[in-house]
Amino acid sequence: MKKIIIYCLAFGLVLGIVQQTNANNPENITDNMLFQEVNIELAGNAETKADYFAGKNPRAVIFAPGAMFSKESWHFLAVRFQDLGIGSVALNSGSTPEVLNSIAFLKAKGVQKIAVIGASAGGAGVLYTLRDAPDPLVDRVVLLAPAGGPPLQNDKIRKLFIVAEDDMISSSAEVYKLYKSSSDPKLYRELRGSDHAQRLFDSKEKENIVQLIIQFIQN
């Protein structure tokens, strides 16, 4: 009995030390994810709360989720990029202030090329932002079933449009029309199924989409 009591006290002491260490550490480590929650207002906009995944590559990625999703919904993909040395910023929306703040934040980090990935309403927000406030460092844009937004008329940006053929929210016909109205260079990928935007990552197409996005941004 005495040994059990000693063991429990020792375990509690170690647990307390670990919790205190995590509380003092500004970086959060969960399931091999290494990121830091940051508050950004470098573009003179309202403060943006985001998750920053550091990278060693001169390229970085900005993630803008759909209306029903948060920045945490992009963590799995941010880790995939981080494993390749590519840093990223995961946002809570694709609003213009958040996108502009994240671009300014990455510039301050010395990033030289930026890819922006927007889903559903986040995709529409990205399109409006890049139309009204284009930035020369943004050279790749991935749009997962954008819920509206203007065509992207910028020949300096490579564009990838992804949508499910039976998407019930952003119809494939509307996304294809948006693709056709955007300038080259551009790609369009229509997948089987009806999952909308980020819901595609819950489908059997997940790994195919992840690889498509990674290759598009890397090449």
Q: CA nearest 69: which of 214, 211, 212, 201?
A: 201
Digit-coded pLDDT (tens) for 20-43: 323 233 334 344 558 899 999 887
Alpha helices, DSSP H, located in the chain: 2-24, 75-83, 96-108, 121-132, 172-181, 206-218
How far from 10 is each of 24, 107, 149, 186, CA to CA, in Å? 21, 47, 58, 60
pLDDT of residue 16: 34
Cα–Cα–Cα angle for 49, 67, 219, nearest 5°? Answer: 75
Distance CA 81, CA 64 (A): 15
Structure tokens that stand for 62 in this block: 């900005």
Q: Tell the residue number behind the tokens 């994810």, with chain if given.
A: 33
| φ and ψ at residue 162, rounded to 5 degrees | -130, 130
* Locus of tokens 């799995």: 76
Residue 121, domain member (yes or no): yes
Within-domain flag for 18: no
Banded model confidence at residue 73, pLDDT cuts 50, 70, 90: very high
- Count how many domains the chain has: 1
* pLDDT score, position 46: 87
- Determine, yes or no, domain membership for 69: yes
Q: Model confidence over 164-191: pLDDT tens digits?
A: 999 989 999 999 999 999 999 999 999 9
Residue 204 lies in a domain: yes
- CA 83 and chain centroid, separation: 15
Distance CA 104, CA 102 (A): 5
- Which residue, 161, 163, 160, 159, is CA-closest to 199? 163
User: Is residue 157 domain-resident?
Assistant: yes
Average pLDDT over residues 191-210: 96
Pairing status of strand 59-64 against strand 113-119: parallel
Q: How far apart are CA 190 and CA 89, in angstroms?
A: 27
Residue 30 has a pLDDT of 44
The DSSP secondary-structure symbol of 193 reads S
- CATH number of the domain within which 181 lies: 3.40.50.1820
Q: Is the pLDDT of residue 200 over 70?
A: yes
Let me know if residue 7 belongs to a domain. no
pLDDT confidence band for 148 (50 / 70 / 90): very high
In a domain, 19, yes or no: no
State residue 32's pLDDT score: 52
Residue 3 inside a domain? The answer is no
**Amino acid residing at 11:** F
On whether the CB atoms of residues 11 and 2 are closer than 8 A, the answer is no
Q: What is the pLDDT of residue 34?
A: 85
Q: pLDDT, tens digit, for every residue of 81-134? A: 999 999 999 999 999 999 999 999 999 999 999 999 999 999 999 999 999 999
C-alpha closest to that of 183 among 100, 101, 127: 127
Whether residue 139 has pLDDT greater than 80: yes
Range of the domain at 146: 27-218
Examine residue 185 and say whether the peptide bond preceding it is cis (omega within 30 degrees of 0): yes
